[in-house]
Amino acid sequence: MYQPNRFKDFPRISSNARPIHSGGSSLASVAPLEAILFDIDGTLCDSDPLHFYAFRDMLQEIGFNGGTPITEEFFIKNISGKHNEELREILLPDWEIQRSRKFLEDKEALFRRLASEQLQPMKGLQKLCKWIEDRGLRRAAVTNAPRSNAELLISMLGLADFFEILVLASECDRVKPFPDPYLKALQELDISHKHAFVFEDSVSGIKAGMGAGMPVVGLGTRNPEQLLIEAGAVFVIADFDDPKLWTELEEMEIKAEATTTTK
């Protein structure tokens, strides 16, 4: 069963000891910046360990994989970042729809209990939020998670008043990796994709942000850095304190100022 003190021991698949790779691009193209859009799970907070523990224990209880607990690698490859309707088809294809949905609802309830005990913000999140607020930038949270999860995490992280809008993929025609959730966020903010970028930690999220026409910064919290680069991330950071991020933000501001001066 889940042991609370194991949260800190959940290993990062992407080791911070290695250099952060670049996708060969930058954020300069969005200057002047008007908005930043965030995924929630694995981006605002490193919540994947809690999802992993919940899935591992509940899947083992129903005899999934012959009763052998799923591994972290299986979780990252097959579960992380996916919408529950997609997971229902991946994990429980032979179950009746209502039964599989109830199973996933119970899993989300277990996740919320675990999150309420020990969720922590991504390192540097407060610093980044202040930077955004000081510049009057627009902001939105865009997620594949259920509303109850999204609202709990945003509240626990103290960001209820920070985000102007919350977009749930389940309320769009298509979920990530399709661009619909991010397109809806841009529409509600009344911001062009040319002046916004995205923070994401999953392949599906990166593809969704790119599909909406925005550059995406990858968070290497769990997924391998190279996988995020191959998905299309302009670069990958370890967390919001990563010097690479702040160098890019500074260069973007310099470009915006130069553009304004020449007009």
Which residues are marked as active site? 39, 41
**Which residue type occupies 60?**
Q
Alpha-carbon distances, residue 159 vs 147, 165, 218 (angstroms) = 15, 11, 21
In eight-state DSSP terms, residue 123 is: T
Q: What's the number of CA atoms in the CB half-sphere (13 Å) around residue 143?
A: 24
Count of CB atoms within 10 A of residue 67's CB?
Answer: 10
Range list of β-strands (E), 195-234? 196-200, 216-219
By three-state DSSP, how is residue 35 classified?
A: strand
Instruction: Of 190, 174, 168, 149, give the one whose Cα is nearest residue 45.
Output: 149
